[in-house]
Structure 1
Amino acid sequence: MGAAYFYHLTHQPLETALPQLVARARGAGWRVAVRVGEADRLEALDKALWSGPAEEFPAHGIADGAHDADQPVLLTTAMDTPNGAACLMTVSGAEVTPEDCAAMERVCVIFDGTDGAALDQARVQWKALTAAEIEAQYWSQESGRWERKR
């Protein structure tokens, strides 16, 4: 059973932080599914992953393509992960369940610290996952870099 890591964005927008977090997960050897809560965000996140430095470029695709199973990083709004991901990243209010955590090495819940609704939803998700006895960690950019808070 994997752990849930909550990433509280305060110093970077999602479009900047996501490529960095995806690179870390890929560095661990994991395929990644990025579950997006709002379909209209797919294109912006796709563009953000394409526009990073060439040496950090994560090969990826948007779900419902012919090669979803082959994608090392797949952007999706669906609950399934056809690319065999070991790491699930949820953004823009996407749902995450204890079953997701049981199926993955890691689940990352990434939320905007300047958005009150996003903060509230992350709190609800934290409570639901920890109540299901999922190991959870909280990471913040409060100091300008990622730090685990206890």
Structure 2
Amino acid sequence: MAEVWFYHLTESRLEDALPALLEKTLERGWRAVVEFGSEERLNQMNEHLWTWRDDAFLPHGTAADGFEADQPVYLTLDAANPNAAQARFHVDGSMPHDVSPYIRAILMFDGHDNGQLDAARSQWKRLKGEGHDVSYWKQMPDRRWQKQM
């Protein structure tokens, strides 16, 4: 069973939080796949990841770039895992289907969007019911993450 971590964004935007979590994923020696809810958001994040910090970028690609199997971080709109990722991120309203192929699935949701809150609650119940190890991470006022019990 996969670990499933729910990240409740309350103090920062996805553009600020996702790159740092992807960087930590790569530091573990894992590959990541990030599934988006819309092509517009995928394209925005694709551009953002090249310049998210002045001193670093995150190596990544999309189907349009080719070389899918070689991408450390693969951005997509579907359930494919062409880079054999160990971690799968669901963002921008994207919801997980089968998380069992992954060591960890991460669902990031906007705490100011009632639709995303409701969907995250529903996914929590479903994934916990399927026997996955689910965890809830709350964003603190200083923008750090704290695991809730």
- For normalisation by structure 1, the TM-score amounts to 0.93
1:6-53: per-residue Cα shift (whole Å, max 9, x none)? 000011100110100100111111100000111211111112211222
Instruction: State the distance in 1 between where 2:56 and 2:9 align.
Output: 20
Q: Which residue of 2 aligns with 1:121?
A: 119
Q: After TM superposition, give the deviation of residue 2 of structure 1 in Å.
A: 2.0
Q: Which residue of 2 aligns with 1:146?
A: 145
Q: After TM superposition, give the deviation of residue 66 of structure 1 in Å.
A: 2.0
Q: After TM superposition, give the deviation of residue 143 of structure 1 in Å.
A: 3.5
Instruction: State the distance in 2 between where 1:57 and 1:93 align.
Output: 25
Q: Which residue of 2 aligns with 1:78?
A: 78
Q: Which residue of 2 aligns with 1:16?
A: 16
1:108-144: per-residue Cα shift (whole Å, max 9, x none)? 0001011111101100111110010110000011332
The residue type equivalent to 1:27 in the other structure is E
CA contact (8 A) 1:16 1:48 kept: no
CA contact (8 A) 2:36 2:93 kept: yes
Instruction: State the distance in 2 between where 1:71 and 1:63 align.
Output: 10
Count how many residue pairs are aligned between Structure 1 and Structure 2: 148
Instruction: State the distance in 2 between where 1:65 and 1:57 align.
Output: 16
Identity of aligned residues (%): 37
The residue type equivalent to 1:19 in the other structure is P
The unaligned stretches of length 5 or more in structure 1 are none
Instruction: State the distance in 2 between where 1:53 and 1:93 align.
Output: 25
Instruction: State the distance in 2 between where 1:66 and 1:47 align.
Output: 16
Tell me the secondary structure at the aligned position of residue 46 of structure 2.
Answer: helix
CA contact (8 A) 2:95 2:107 kept: no
Q: After TM superposition, give the deviation of residue 64 of structure 1 in Å.
A: 4.3
Deviates more, 1:139-148 or 1:23-32: 139-148
Q: Which residue of 2 aligns with 1:92?
A: 92
Within 5 Å, give how 1:16-95 maps onto structure 2.
16-95=16-95
- For normalisation by structure 2, the TM-score amounts to 0.94
The unaligned stretches of length 5 or more in structure 2 are none
